Amino acid sequence: MARHIFKRFMPSPETIQSNKSLRFLGTWLHDPNLFHLNRRSASLAFFVGLFVAFIPLPSQMIIASTLSIVLRCNLPISVALVWITNPITMPAIFYATYKLGTLILGIPASTIHFEPSMDWLMLELAKIWKPLILGSLIAGLISGSLGYIAVRISWRLHVIRRWNNRTVLRIKK
Protein backbone atom coordinates (compact mmCIF):
# COMPACT_ATOMS: atom_id res chain seq x y z
CA MET A 1 0.00 0.00 0.00
CA ALA A 2 1.21 3.54 -0.43
CA ARG A 3 2.14 3.91 3.22
CA HIS A 4 4.10 7.09 2.63
CA ILE A 5 1.02 8.79 1.16
CA PHE A 6 -1.05 7.95 4.24
CA LYS A 7 1.74 9.04 6.58
CA ARG A 8 2.11 12.36 4.80
CA PHE A 9 -1.48 13.34 5.60
CA MET A 10 -1.78 11.73 9.05
CA PRO A 11 -0.94 13.76 12.14
CA SER A 12 1.87 12.41 14.26
CA PRO A 13 1.02 10.59 17.49
CA GLU A 14 2.85 13.30 19.43
CA THR A 15 0.64 16.00 17.90
CA ILE A 16 -2.53 14.22 18.93
CA GLN A 17 -1.24 13.21 22.36
CA SER A 18 -0.11 16.76 23.16
CA ASN A 19 -3.44 18.31 22.15
CA LYS A 20 -4.86 20.03 25.24
CA SER A 21 -8.47 19.26 24.35
CA LEU A 22 -7.72 15.51 24.27
CA ARG A 23 -5.95 15.26 27.62
CA PHE A 24 -9.08 13.87 29.27
CA LEU A 25 -8.44 10.61 27.39
CA GLY A 26 -5.28 10.08 29.43
CA THR A 27 -3.13 7.15 28.35
CA TRP A 28 -5.67 5.73 25.89
CA LEU A 29 -4.05 7.72 23.08
CA HIS A 30 -0.62 6.29 23.94
CA ASP A 31 -1.41 2.92 22.37
CA PRO A 32 0.94 2.64 19.36
CA ASN A 33 -1.63 0.59 17.41
CA LEU A 34 -3.82 3.69 17.09
CA PHE A 35 -1.24 5.24 14.79
CA HIS A 36 0.39 2.15 13.32
CA LEU A 37 -0.09 1.65 9.63
CA ASN A 38 -0.22 -2.05 8.87
CA ARG A 39 -2.67 -4.27 7.05
CA ARG A 40 -4.72 -5.18 10.12
CA SER A 41 -4.89 -1.67 11.51
CA ALA A 42 -5.72 0.03 8.21
CA SER A 43 -8.33 -2.50 7.11
CA LEU A 44 -10.09 -2.43 10.48
CA ALA A 45 -9.98 1.38 10.41
CA PHE A 46 -11.66 1.31 7.00
CA PHE A 47 -14.40 -0.92 8.40
CA VAL A 48 -14.94 1.34 11.42
CA GLY A 49 -14.87 4.57 9.42
CA LEU A 50 -17.18 3.40 6.67
CA PHE A 51 -19.60 1.73 9.08
CA VAL A 52 -19.86 4.80 11.31
CA ALA A 53 -20.21 7.10 8.28
CA PHE A 54 -23.62 5.54 7.62
CA ILE A 55 -24.92 5.94 11.17
CA PRO A 56 -27.35 8.90 11.14
CA LEU A 57 -26.06 10.58 14.30
CA PRO A 58 -24.36 13.95 14.67
CA SER A 59 -21.43 12.56 16.70
CA GLN A 60 -19.90 10.25 14.08
CA MET A 61 -16.30 11.34 14.72
CA ILE A 62 -16.62 10.60 18.43
CA ILE A 63 -18.14 7.19 17.73
CA ALA A 64 -15.41 6.35 15.20
CA SER A 65 -12.62 7.43 17.53
CA THR A 66 -14.11 5.48 20.43
CA LEU A 67 -14.42 2.34 18.31
CA SER A 68 -10.86 2.84 17.06
CA ILE A 69 -9.56 3.02 20.61
CA VAL A 70 -11.55 -0.03 21.69
CA LEU A 71 -10.64 -2.10 18.60
CA ARG A 72 -7.06 -0.74 18.54
CA CYS A 73 -7.09 0.23 14.87
CA ASN A 74 -5.76 3.29 13.07
CA LEU A 75 -7.44 6.31 14.60
CA PRO A 76 -6.77 8.97 11.92
CA ILE A 77 -8.01 6.78 9.06
CA SER A 78 -11.24 5.80 10.79
CA VAL A 79 -12.03 9.38 11.81
CA ALA A 80 -11.22 10.73 8.34
CA LEU A 81 -13.48 8.20 6.60
CA VAL A 82 -16.46 9.40 8.59
CA TRP A 83 -16.40 12.53 6.45
CA ILE A 84 -17.81 10.56 3.53
CA THR A 85 -21.12 11.71 4.94
CA ASN A 86 -20.64 15.45 4.99
CA PRO A 87 -23.29 18.17 4.76
CA ILE A 88 -23.26 17.91 0.96
CA THR A 89 -23.55 14.11 0.65
CA MET A 90 -25.63 13.46 3.76
CA PRO A 91 -29.13 14.03 2.28
CA ALA A 92 -28.54 11.68 -0.66
CA ILE A 93 -26.86 8.97 1.43
CA PHE A 94 -29.45 8.96 4.19
CA TYR A 95 -32.32 9.06 1.69
CA ALA A 96 -30.81 6.01 -0.01
CA THR A 97 -30.47 4.21 3.33
CA TYR A 98 -34.06 5.13 4.17
CA LYS A 99 -35.23 3.67 0.84
CA LEU A 100 -33.18 0.53 1.52
CA GLY A 101 -34.86 0.22 4.92
CA THR A 102 -38.34 0.60 3.44
CA LEU A 103 -37.50 -2.01 0.82
CA ILE A 104 -36.32 -4.50 3.44
CA LEU A 105 -39.23 -3.84 5.81
CA GLY A 106 -41.72 -3.94 2.95
CA ILE A 107 -43.36 -0.65 3.85
CA PRO A 108 -44.10 2.20 1.47
CA ALA A 109 -41.87 5.26 1.62
CA SER A 110 -43.67 8.22 3.11
CA THR A 111 -43.90 11.48 1.23
CA ILE A 112 -42.38 14.37 3.09
CA HIS A 113 -43.70 17.91 2.98
CA PHE A 114 -41.02 20.17 4.42
CA GLU A 115 -41.82 22.65 7.18
CA PRO A 116 -38.97 24.34 9.04
CA SER A 117 -40.16 23.61 12.59
CA MET A 118 -39.11 21.33 15.43
CA ASP A 119 -42.60 19.79 15.61
CA TRP A 120 -42.40 18.82 11.94
CA LEU A 121 -38.94 17.33 12.45
CA MET A 122 -40.04 15.20 15.40
CA LEU A 123 -43.20 14.06 13.62
CA GLU A 124 -41.27 13.04 10.48
CA LEU A 125 -38.53 11.29 12.48
CA ALA A 126 -41.18 9.31 14.32
CA LYS A 127 -42.41 8.03 10.94
CA ILE A 128 -39.07 7.22 9.32
CA TRP A 129 -36.74 6.14 12.13
CA LYS A 130 -37.16 2.36 11.74
CA PRO A 131 -36.38 2.11 8.00
CA LEU A 132 -33.69 4.78 8.31
CA ILE A 133 -31.84 2.98 11.11
CA LEU A 134 -32.20 -0.45 9.50
CA GLY A 135 -31.06 0.79 6.09
CA SER A 136 -28.18 2.72 7.64
CA LEU A 137 -26.95 -0.28 9.61
CA ILE A 138 -27.13 -2.56 6.59
CA ALA A 139 -25.45 -0.03 4.29
CA GLY A 140 -22.79 0.59 6.95
CA LEU A 141 -22.09 -3.11 7.37
CA ILE A 142 -21.89 -3.69 3.63
CA SER A 143 -19.69 -0.67 2.89
CA GLY A 144 -17.49 -1.33 5.92
CA SER A 145 -17.05 -4.97 4.94
CA LEU A 146 -16.26 -4.05 1.34
CA GLY A 147 -13.73 -1.46 2.52
CA TYR A 148 -12.14 -3.97 4.88
CA ILE A 149 -11.85 -6.62 2.16
CA ALA A 150 -10.59 -4.12 -0.43
CA VAL A 151 -7.82 -2.87 1.85
CA ARG A 152 -6.80 -6.39 2.85
CA ILE A 153 -6.64 -7.56 -0.78
CA SER A 154 -4.91 -4.46 -2.14
CA TRP A 155 -2.39 -4.47 0.71
CA ARG A 156 -1.63 -8.15 0.10
CA LEU A 157 -1.27 -7.62 -3.66
CA HIS A 158 1.08 -4.72 -3.02
CA VAL A 159 3.25 -6.88 -0.73
CA ILE A 160 3.33 -9.69 -3.29
CA ARG A 161 4.30 -7.25 -6.05
CA ARG A 162 7.10 -5.80 -3.88
CA TRP A 163 8.41 -9.29 -3.09
CA ASN A 164 8.37 -10.22 -6.77
CA ASN A 165 10.21 -7.01 -7.69
CA ARG A 166 12.87 -7.74 -5.07
CA THR A 167 13.26 -11.28 -6.37
CA VAL A 168 13.69 -10.01 -9.93
CA LEU A 169 16.30 -7.49 -8.77
CA ARG A 170 18.22 -10.19 -6.88
CA ILE A 171 18.21 -12.45 -9.92
CA LYS A 172 19.51 -9.66 -12.16
CA LYS A 173 22.49 -9.05 -9.84
Please indicate whether residue 119 or residue 30 has the higher confidence score (pLDDT). 119
What pLDDT does 150 receive? 94
Average pLDDT of the chain is 82
CA distances from 5 to 8, 60, 90 (A): 5, 25, 27
Residue 140 corresponds to which amino acid? Answer: G
pLDDT single digits (tens) 118-170 = 776 777 777 778 888 999 999 999 999 999 999 999 989 988 998 988 888 88
Mean pLDDT for the stretch of residues 73-97 = 89
Confidence of residue 3 (pLDDT cuts 50, 70, 90): low
Burial label for 80, CB within 10 Å (0-12, 13-18, 19+), is middle
What pLDDT does 19 receive? 64
Percent of the chain surpassing pLDDT 90 = 28
Percent of the chain surpassing pLDDT 70 = 77
pLDDT single digits (tens) 93-128 = 988 998 899 898 888 877 777 667 677 677 777 777
Distant-in-sequence, close-in-space partners of 5: CB < 8 Å, separation ≥ 6:
none
Q: Find, among 66, 39, 64, the residue nearest to 52 by Cα.
A: 64
Q: Find, among 81, 77, 93, the residue nearest to 36 by Cα.
A: 77
Q: Whole-angstrom Cα distance, residue 161 to residue 150?
A: 16
What pLDDT does 130 receive? 86
Q: Find, among 89, 54, 61, 86, the residue nearest to 76 by Cα.
A: 61
